[in-house]
Amino acid sequence: MAQVVSGEADLREYWRRFVAKVPYESGNYPYVTARVKAKKASLYPEETYPRLLQMEIPQIARFLGEGAYKEEIVALGARLRHVDLIERATADNLAAVFTRIIAMCEGRLREMVARYLERWDVANIKTILRGKLYGATAAEIEEDLVAAGSLDADALRNLIGLETLEAVFGALDGTIYEEARRQMGEAFDPSKGFAAYEDALAHVYYRRLLEEIQPRTEPSRLFREFVRREIDILNVKTLLRVWQSKAEFDRPVFLQGGLEFEPEDLLAMTHLDLNGLLGRLSRYSLYEDIATALRAIGDHGVAHVERTLEKSHLKAASRYSHIHPLSVLPILDFLARKTREVENIRIIARGKEHGIPVEAMKELLVI
């Protein structure tokens, strides 16, 4: 009997060493990527958006109700109208689709996808705290939530139902978001330092995400590279806003972990003139994608450069997914494209509501 136990222990130790040395990520990749491929086929093609831009808001809602958003449009149509219906239906659909994808996944694949989608938890926590800080009603706060992360709709409603900001912070104890509040110190006053707390949340999220994505295989290495490039893009967006506003900060505003940019280099660029800024950015690989937009920043503003960066990032996700079709990368590509579809629909709906010209709305879309 002792020999059997010893043999099992030896086998477990052998397997542990094997897994440590051989590149392998557990997960049901063929099944999930096949399902995601089918879902990707239901996304609106590029030629849909010119049609939506020519529609009025009721026509857009009706169009959505004939396709992938039918279930949500039907469920909400009795109590919501116009832009409210479109925004709530698209948010609920996004949450439902992403929740189903997490449920499909197994093993390390599930862990990576779930951690990636915790960005929605970050966004929802910010929305809840900001809403309470500025006196929004529970209904108003809930309208802006997208339950697509690890905090489901019931958990988010429970947070909304808490009386005070400190009660919300207390409810987050034991989660990765506790760290952001702890960094603020005992004297933290949300009414004066909420932006610093929001930055801390982003820092915690991206650090934990990178820790979760260990580059053991080529697909996971590319996934990690994609996230690090996303950090670069967020940092360049922050750089351009700070550069334009000439603002000064007493806290770190640039994220750690980017692929090329170091926070201290970005901080130094905030004080350059336009020619100096262009010269410094030209040393980085993403410059080629945004050079034209950067040179026209005086005419079109920072937002045009931001959209150019986002389009470049979407192309990278698609390129990676084709290189490794049975990996986490096609899933990542779909998550990014589905999110962008919802954002584009909302831009059009809001633009119609506020009478923004079609050409101006076109400039806001990322396709």
Give the CA distances from residue 250 to residues 36, 246, 265, 267, in Å, rounded to whole numbers and listed in that order: 44, 14, 16, 12
> What is the spatial distance between Cα 190 and Cα 194, in angstroms, rounded to a whole number?
5
pLDDT string in tens for the chain (367-residue length): 555 455 666 666 654 554 444 445 678 999 999 999 999 999 999 999 999 999 999 999 999 999 999 999 999 999 999 999 999 999 999 999 999 999 999 998 999 999 999 999 999 999 999 999 999 999 999 999 999 999 999 999 999 999 999 999 999 998 889 999 999 998 899 988 899 999 999 999 999 999 988 888 888 888 899 999 999 999 999 999 999 999 888 889 999 999 999 999 999 999 999 999 999 999 999 999 999 999 988 888 898 899 999 998 898 888 888 888 988 999 999 999 999 999 999 999 999 999 999 999 998 999 8
CB contact set of 45 (below 8 Å; sequence gap of 6+): none
Q: For the residues of 282-324, what is the DSSP string, one character each?
A: TTSTTHHHHHHHHHTHHHHHHHHHHHHHHHHHHHHHHHHHHH-
State how far the Cα of 236 lies from the Cα of 309, in Å rounded to an integer. 9
Element containing residue 274 per DSSP (H, E):
helix 274-281
* Phi and psi at residue 115, to the nearest 5°: -65, -40
- Domain over 218-326 is classified CATH 1.20.1690.10: yes
d(CA 152, CA 177): 16
Distance of CA 175 to the CA centre of its chain: 19
Residue 74 has φ and ψ, to the nearest 5°, of -65, -45
Classify residue 321 by burial, with Cβ atoms within 10 Å: 0-12, 13-18, 19+: buried
Q: Taking each helix axis from N to C terminus, what angle separates 297-323 and 287-295, rounded to the nearest 10 degrees?
A: 160
Q: Across the chain, where does the E strand assignment appear?
A: none
Q: What is the pTM of this model?
A: 0.87
Tokens of 22: 């051989």
Domain ranges of the chain: 218-326
CB 129 within 8 A of CB 193: no
